[in-house]
Amino acid sequence: MRKLILSTIILISCITNVFCQAPNADFLHSIGKIYVVVAVIAASFIGIILYLVSLDKKLTKLENQIKK
C-alpha cells in the first residue's frame, strides 16, 4: 500500500511538472526558435532511421553469407 501511495505521488508530481513547462514552448515559438528545435529533433530521428536501415542491410548480408 505504501508503494502505491508513493507511486501515485511521484506520478502526480511528474504530471504537474509537464503542465508547468508549457509556457516554454510559447516562449520559443514567439522568438522563432521552435523551428530550430523541431528541425534538430527531425534530423535526429532521420539519422536514427537511416542508421537502422543500413544496419539491417548489413545484417541481412551477413545472414545470407552464413546460410551459404
C-alpha cell at 57: 542491410
Q: Are residues 63 and 36 in the same domain?
A: yes
Q: Are residues 24 and 9 in the same domain?
A: yes
Q: Are residues 26 and 3 in the same domain?
A: yes
**More confident position, 66 or 8:** 66
Q: Are residues 20 and 39 in the same domain?
A: no
Residue 58 belongs to domain spanning: 32-68
C-alpha cell at 40: 534538430
Q: Are residues 13 and 23 in the same domain?
A: yes
Question: CA-CA distance, 18 to 32, in Å (whole number)?
Answer: 22
C-alpha cell at 67: 546460410
Q: State the pTM of this model.
A: 0.54
Q: Are residues 37 and 67 in the same domain?
A: yes
The number of domains in the chain is 2
Q: Are residues 16 and 46 in the same domain?
A: no
1 DSSP 8-state letter: -
> In the structure, what pLDDT confidence band is assigned to residue 33 with cuts at 50, 70 and 90?
confident
> In the structure, what pLDDT confidence band is assigned to residue 37 with cuts at 50, 70 and 90?
confident
